[in-house]
Structure 1
């Protein structure tokens, strides 16, 4: 396939499967906590709108959770089939970390998921709320262990190498490696932002269709309220993560910036746009701002950022890919900030119903969190190359000894199956989102909302909910 060797095909296959997988945890991590907040608000206020939204979004959560589990299992098997060199070399680290994730997070989620989804009228309200909180905690614990494993591959410590394999010597150092706190915070916040954008986008869709009830307004209000807090916080965390990456993976930063050469003692400019050319060792047609790169990445105007040509050619990440994946992520982040600011200006008095331009923008931004997460993972993983364990094991030494033909066949099979199975699942999710919250309501809840006047007042007048 396009003269790719087994290594390239294995990398593409893993990138393809992990890209499908990360979509679903990015939604479930945030939605689980959103469901806990909704149920807590319902128990405190007894306002039916919170139960209405809980019943609706719990269905979305369930479908995402199921597809996330299935796609995650496929990824785990690939460590043995396609990356046996990595498993043999570093399995003593990654194996236990993934086992901890299963024994704590997954068992916690699976143990309480049934109560959360099917126990609303079968167990007491406190027990049901406890189950929802445990599922939310399980998703966060899963994030903790997965990021611990991946972060160790980025900034490994707490180990020695004996007889050609990694042997852990300090598990606290392994888990709390230098990049772990920043990457954990960055991913967790990204997941909450992704869910908030999905909630806002869904509310905006129904508002454009003429709905003005409490459920639609509550989705918009709660989602935009979360975005105005988390998006600026993500900018701060991203800056801290960038400083940490500059310290431990300077070649990745140079590739992200498209920065090939330093000029004398001049501070490093920030290249806004351009076309990085790895062969020519320069970013062509670039648009740059003098000294801003040094200011952002070193917080000074007299320090230079390491240039890509300062590293051996065999140690350089592909700047062409990460240069643009990072800018996609950052550009979407700026649009998210615009959405949060604009929406919270309209939030007072819930004036978004009379602003179709804002609502269309919110709908378009609905999936932007997922795109930003994918772009971010492409940046961090491609930027780690040519290492699978940074500075310790090269990717070429981690791949299994398969030929190109079986890798081509398996990749083609994965593409067909994933696009078919997850395509149907995604279509079903979109169908549920399009139908809206009322579809999940039992008759008694509908009667309660109608009796309380929420629906009638909200749809016939300018609702105050």
Structure 2
């Protein structure tokens, strides 16, 4: 593989690994605020139990996300030094603001959130939880601002080979940010809602801690049901107001059409970049035009032939990234719709098939977020800053062997950490939230089997010792 391909793979693996954790923790931090506020107001122990259980899952994911985020920053300087030098006057201050306004806020209050329960007043505990939540939201805001500027650069001038800011308002609130930030924020809230609902569904299925399970499930699935309609509208706005006017090549690649003559919508295909055609293509006639609000079925979707060959992205990444996001969103939409129907029919707690469905679809929100990022980043190619700086010109001149070694090393470490986190979640779920209840008392009474074993062992020891003691007396 070339130096460019290896560097891109290394960065892609790091970003995908990192994004797995904010996909859960950003929304989970807001959920913790809601739960603790209800506990503070009502003094019901079940809400403190919920707070303690979900805080534990939040804490480990938060720590892993911070570590992976730091690696991203180092890679931007080491593997993408040319990019850092040229975009530093804009990207540098934005990332710096993320550290000052988000990371410091999180670091300042995370200790109280994790260890203040029972040691500080309710107000202090609640305020610390809110501050950590604000920090996670601010962090995603600044990261989206930096990445969106790379998608639709604005408020800059070129000076001595660098991109210098001329208007920070335009640079930060660039055309892509206005739509992508709410799109991402809704996505992490929905993903966290599915995460909470899925784990709670397990307890509903097994009949454990029903008070905890019902409340957690109700809040989690309600988040999905309330936000999915807004997410579909905002997601359509990203295509209509960002990709269409500013990044037409991304829109062309995500549709999967090589030529501008298909009025259908491609459900499945295997793109071949060299041959400029698709294999095993399955298309729904008329639907492509309908999605463009033309019910006559005569308006074809844009094809990649509208973009010069040297500026075309690899179609496979945007095509499948978009479909991972799109298909996942419809699974989430169907889940939200069913939950509303069941709630109105007072069957939300007894629908075991629905509980099993929610359990198996727990990671769908994370899949949708990763698919969206794959679409966003691969669809921007061959530009690292769209229309200004090509990816091939932004990579550092490193030895490919060294980069290959680091790719293998990072992949191994990420696989181990991700597997460890999944095992931690499974073990925490299997252990259950019983010990998090304020009235929980560990059962220290020996079981009957244990008592019988001790009695048997004691008898054997006495039998063994007795002859020795008799001999000693003699």
TM-score by length of 2: 0.89
For the pair 1:292 / 2:287, whether they are aligned, the reply is: yes
| CA shift in 2, pair 1:46/1:442, >3 Å | closer
- 2:332 aligned partner: 336
- 2:366 aligned partner: 370
| Pairwise CA distance, 1:62 | 0.8
| Pairwise CA distance, 1:261 | 1.4
For the pair 1:386 / 2:361, whether they are aligned, the reply is: no
Which of 304, 312, 315 lines up with 1:316 in the alignment?
312
- 1:68 aligned partner: 65
CA distance in 2 between counterparts of 1:440 and 1:9 reads: 46
Deviates more, 1:323-332 or 1:145-154: 323-332
Question: Which has the greater radius of gyration?
Answer: 2
**8 Å Cα contact 2:7/2:79 also seen in 1:** yes
For the pair 1:246 / 2:244, whether they are aligned, the reply is: yes
- 2:121 aligned partner: 124
**8 Å Cα contact 1:276/1:320 also seen in 2:** yes
| Pairwise CA distance, 1:158 | 0.6
- 2:152 aligned partner: 155
CA distance in 1 between counterparts of 2:421 and 2:405 reads: 24
Q: Secondary structure at the match of 2:175?
A: coil
Task: Identify unmatched segments of 5+ residues in structure 2.
Answer: 443-474
Deviation string, structure 1 residues 188-240 (Cα, Å, up to 9, x no partner) = 11100111001110011112222262100111111111111111211111111
**Number of residues of Structure 1 aligned to a counterpart in Structure 2:** 440
| Pairwise CA distance, 1:29 | 0.5
Deviates more, 1:347-356 or 1:268-277: 347-356
| Pairwise CA distance, 1:349 | 7.0
- 2:435 aligned partner: 439
Q: Secondary structure at the match of 1:179?
A: helix
Which of 10, 14, 24 lines up with 2:7 in the alignment?
10
| Pairwise CA distance, 1:319 | 1.2
Task: Identify unmatched segments of 5+ residues in structure 1.
Answer: 447-465
| Pairwise CA distance, 1:135 | 0.9
- 2:353 aligned partner: 357
| Pairwise CA distance, 1:125 | 1.0
**8 Å Cα contact 1:317/1:386 also seen in 2:** yes
CA distance in 2 between counterparts of 1:251 and 1:409 reads: 33
**8 Å Cα contact 1:242/1:297 also seen in 2:** no
Deviates more, 1:287-296 or 1:327-336: 287-296
- 1:325 aligned partner: 321
CA RMSD of aligned residues (A): 1.9
- 1:453 aligned partner: none
Which of 274, 285, 296 lines up with 1:279 in the alignment?
274
